[in-house]
Structure 1
Amino acid sequence: MGATRDSDIILERLSTLHPKIIDLSLDRMHRLLDRLGNPERNLPPVIHIAGTNGKGSTLAMIRAGLEAAGKTCHAYTSPHLARFHERIRVAGELISEPDLAALLDECEDANDGAPITFFEVTTCAAILAFARHHADYTLLEVGLGGRLDATNVVAHPALSIITPVALDHQSYLGDTIAAIAGEKAGILKRTTPAVIARQSDAALEVIEARAARLGAPLSTYGQDWHVWSERDRLVFQDERGLLDLPLPVLQGPHQIDNAGTAIAALRLIGLGEDAIARAMREAVWPARMQRLKHGPCIDAAPEAEILLDGGHNPAAGEAIAATLAAMPARETHLVCGMLNTKDVAGYLAPLAPHVTSLTALSIPGEANTLPADRTADAARIVGIEAHTAESDRAACAAIAARAPHARILVCGSLYLAGRILQDHS
């Protein structure tokens, strides 16, 4: 048996414990953590990040800044793209296969067959790993919502962060921005400082009201800090002064705001300008307008520029559209696969003015994939010429036959992005 299969087999077994009815609750987390000796009480200082969009990019920039300052960080993110191990970084390094398998075994034994979600039990494994290893900080990314998310078991984080709130996961979080913001604001803790990214008025009102009830001091975009780009530089200003920084290496105008959120957090922690500048230059976050350099898609369209992005909701569509608009002009075609739980037309509508065509895929191996023909139908509704293909390679080959020097953006789902990265790593 290969080493990688050990954790894969345990993860598959754990997925069978999923409750028959999904009730967002922290009861299962507290029960299992109690049986594990409450490791959540022994974590290095926690930076807890909620929001609809930008969580991963913001976390990546915070981690890069802390590491540039000589600090070590645990980091927990989701979902993974190619391997589950990507979700758990222990003191900066991806968790090893033997350590992951041992932690999952321990959590499975402690759970003793009780109903628990996959995300809950794997979050317990991550927390156990972090409590047992030294680091200066623990970076926790919320999986879904905030108030009842499995990561929301830390009573006294060092810092809370809420990135932009938008419509997503409405069946769980509510169908208005205010309702969703209320769930995200559930990570705020009494007297714990919080950084708040650019928000709609409706979201900010809810966040500010909860913070006021808890006495949680806020550092809010547009009030306490500002960020903008000017002459190919990033400018950040707060009450301590103005920083003139390199633009973030992560592409897209929306990364300016994410960078501002990360910088505001790093300033609260006490980092200096040199470490913050390195955070802008050195942060890495895959499947965010990531350029592919080799693999089946490149083989199929060798003269094309091929990019990969995992955004999947209307706000992500707007961010990608703004990124395309800011890039050098080039005929652009989409290769798109999406889940059947997403607002496909809402995602594609902002992209329509910037692209020539879309080739739709069904996401291989994904039970909740939207069939390719339905993605194509949604594209036509918003005015995009649409085709279907059996695979990403076939899609890129068909586009290259029509436009060999085109820009090809593979997009629509983190699950599709993960499949692509498995084949292009």
Structure 2
Amino acid sequence: MRANEQVLTNARLVLDDAIVRGSLVIQAGRIKAIEQGNTALPSAIDCEGDLLIPGLIELHTDNMEKYFQPRPKVSWPSRSAALAHDAQMAASGITTVFDAVSIGDVDDQSMRQEALYQMVEALADINRSGMARVDHRLHLRCEVCHPDTLARFQSLADTPELGLVSLMDHSPGQRQFASLDAYRVYYKGKHGFDDASLDAFIERQQGFSAQYSSAYRKAIAQACHERGLALASHDDATIEHVAESLEYGTQVAEFPTTLEAAHASHHHGMAVMMGAPNVVRGGSHSGNIAASELVRLGMLDILSSDYYPAALLDAVFLISKMEDGYDLPRAVASASRKPAEAVGFNDRGRIAEGLRADLIRVREVDSHPLVQRVWCAGKQVY
């Protein structure tokens, strides 16, 4: 073995279509060779029969926001917040993360807008300084019913880390909140509205949607195509929503809320993304389509941890054990190869010669996947 090589041996390698016992040679941050069987090299790392899977690729998580505001009205120093978030990503087996930051918010008092540029700058800081354990990219979530969204998007559209943009409209009476009753329950609980205040809030949000959504969707989609940025829909609920997404050249269908929308998205070649918490909890917290149903129908392409990073690996193993679920290689692909393909990354997401050595060593204990080690571009980060 050469001085700059690492060898992992006695592992069960989860490849594209099979699980094989063997060894892996890493050189200069990439997978140099995949070998059948074990090696007797004394310097090799013995994986003790554990699974070795590709590092997970997360396309949509707003987890970082929790570190920037750990309590209401408490702001945390940007670099420390970003590094704490980064450490949680590594511990969860996520080696590439598209950190989702929101442009525009239905809540004018939300920290999201106050901290928007701080979060973007902090990501660039830890990435470019070499302090980050994993590879951070930027996902701009554009709330197209907010008056300031287009201008703020334009100010960030050329950020080097930017790789994914989603178009959202969380105004009441459609998409995620087609049920006004569900909307009322959610926003009363979240913001403490009384009935009169909530009525006024609903009227204002619906007015903003009518005024801005269509024009902002079109303008942002065009800007993304000009820059080669991947585009995602969000909470599509109807055939008409999917047709609109297709018109804008959308690659990823984030969290379709109905079987009808999921089926149409999948049929037309969009990668259907569902939340890993939906799998772990056994259903949607908003009462929408269950991810497990899409697994049984073969329509779930991508898993996202959304608001709970550890859910991603848990969900991968859960859908591999479901009746009529995916086998383990396909389940793993939903959190590695498939998201990589959706955003045009051809250098990661699989265990294959020449690709980045983004890897997770996983041991199952009482049917629960435990992360033992994580490598990002060949460097052990956990």
Same fold (TM over 0.5): no
Which structure ranks higher in relative contact order (CA pairs < 8 Å, sequence separation ≥ 6)? Answer: 2
Query: Normalization by structure 1: what TM-score?
Result: 0.28
Task: Name the one with the larger helix percent.
Answer: 1
Query: Normalization by structure 2: what TM-score?
Result: 0.30
